[in-house]
Amino acid sequence: MFRSSSRNLTRKPYVSSLRITVPRRQAHIPSAFLLDNYIPRYKLLTDAQISQKREEAIAHLKKCNICPRKCNVNRLAGETGYCLIGDKVKVSTIAPHFGEEPCIQGTFGSGSVFFSGCSLRCSFCQNYDISHQRAGFDLSPEELAGWFVKLQEVGNVHNINAVTPEHVVPQFALAILAAIPLGLNVPIVYNTSSYDSPEALALMDGLVDIYLADFKLSSSTASKRLLKASDYPETAKHSIRIMQQQVGDLKFTFDGIAQTGLLVRHLVMPAYVEEGKEIMRYLAEHVSKDTYVHVMEQYRPAAHVGKASRGSSDEVRYSDINRAVTSEEVEAVKSAAREAGLWRFVEDSRHESFR
């Protein structure tokens, strides 16, 4: 049974050898974005490249500059930086999972690993108990590698989806490398806030097949207030361009399941619609008009939003975003995306998350 600290998963994962094949004429995917077959990028690494990746990961753990915070702590010696995570990873959930992108999860879901901790401190965090409070259990890279293979073999999943791995990139890389001789053979999804350093993305190059990248806000003022990182917009812009250079636009096999490429997500927020519009224009002008985009509408007040202000019981914190987003606000961002020339959009998922 898959272990979770945040919810009780008592049912065994559904296991089936069935793979649904969609003929070319039914896939509704332009031929430029279709693949006859796909081999995960890590399967193409030479022994020398694997050794080099391993050495680089260990070097980053000894002097950690893997996220933009650049704490330079020795995690192998037990030191921790901003994320408060040492040489092991802390994981809240490991399970087959249906998220918001059907083209990623497909029929059988992703083998999702939810890492605890985060390099950001989003005031509206939808996973506050995981990211801020670091709920979960510790795993070594070798133990994590074993879970990757269990997800693949028992869960029958389409890919391994690492959720918020930005602060544990060296351990994540070591886990992928350790899983290769164990028989791992499905694509790797790097599910990120886009608050990544160039060093982290360089280490991931050749290991990651799909970048599932958030682009939250476009101004340093809003990012400082809501994410506690004024450098977020420029960091995200640079990171997403690097991701695009590594894997290109999102591509699929004939069954309609994404195998490689970039997918950018933007959570529409009340009072910040103009920032969403600016993000869409940036993607079209500076990344690719063929960027696969998910304009998300499931924002809800969470984490610190709506809590009583310090020193006042009559006021609440972040009152401007203390409500759900409206359909008009979501459509405004989608319209801006279309006007900018973007045309590849995620359809809503019919699944109910975990199985």
> Phi-psi bin for 348: left (phi > 0), alpha (psi -120 to 50), beta?
beta
Q: What is the mean pLDDT of the chain?
A: 90
* Domain containing residue 54: CATH number: 3.20.20.70
Confidence (pLDDT) at 349:
54
Q: Give which of 43, 146, 129 is closest to 94, Cα–Cα.
A: 146
pLDDT tens for residues 321-345? Answer: 999 999 999 999 999 999 999 999 9
Domain containing 233 equals 35-303+314-345
User: Is the pLDDT confidence value at 347 over 80?
Assistant: no
- Higher-confidence residue: 108 or 284? 284
The reply to whether 19 falls in a domain is: no
Residue 226 above 50 pLDDT?
yes
Look up residue 341 and give its amino acid. Answer: G
Does residue 218 lie within any of the structural domains? yes
Alpha-carbon radius of gyration of the chain: 20
Whether residue 213 is contained in a domain is answered as: yes
- Quick check: is 12 in a domain? no
> Residues of the chain with pLDDT > 90: what percent?
80
**Residue 16, in any domain of the structure:** no
Which tokens hold the place of 335?
Answer: 């319209």
Q: In the predicted model, is pLDDT for residue 76 greater than 60?
A: yes
**Statement: residue 27 has pLDDT above 80:** no
pLDDT recorded at residue 205: 98
Q: Is 203 a domain residue?
A: yes
Q: Residue 172: its pLDDT value, please?
A: 98
Report DSSP state, residue 193.
-
Kindly report, residue by residue over 155-169, the tens digit of the pLDDT. Answer: 889 999 999 999 999
Tokens 């409500």 belong to 323
SS3 label, residue 249: strand
Write out the E strands in the chain. 89-97, 110-115, 137-139, 160-163, 188-192, 210-214, 251-252, 258-267, 292-296, 344-345
| H/E stretch holding 12 | none
- Are 280 and 337 in contact by the 8 Å Cβ rule? The answer is yes
- If pLDDT is split at 50, 70 and 90, which confidence band does 299 have? very high
Number of domains the chain is built from: 1
Say what the pLDDT of residue 268 is.
98
- pTM over the 0.85 mark: yes
**Which residues does the annotation place in the binding site for [4Fe-4S] cluster?**
118, 122, 125
Residue 13: the pLDDT is: 36
Instruction: Inform me whether the pLDDT recorded for 300 exceeds 60.
Output: yes
Known binding-site positions: 118, 122, 125
Read off the pLDDT of each residue in 340-354 and give the average, rounded to a whole number: 75
Residue type at position 100: E
48 within a domain of the structure (yes/no): yes
- Domain assignment present for residue 309? The answer is no
pLDDT in tens, 161-198: 999 999 999 999 999 999 999 999 999 999 999 999 99
* Residue 3 binned pLDDT confidence (cut-offs 50, 70, 90): very low
- Do residues 112 and 105 touch, judged by C-beta distance below 8 A? no
Residue 2 banded pLDDT, cuts 50, 70, 90: very low
21: confidence class by pLDDT, cuts 50, 70, 90:
very low
CA distance 187 to 39: 8
8 Å CB contact between 228 and 177: no
Residue from 174, 4, 154 nearest 89 by CA: 174
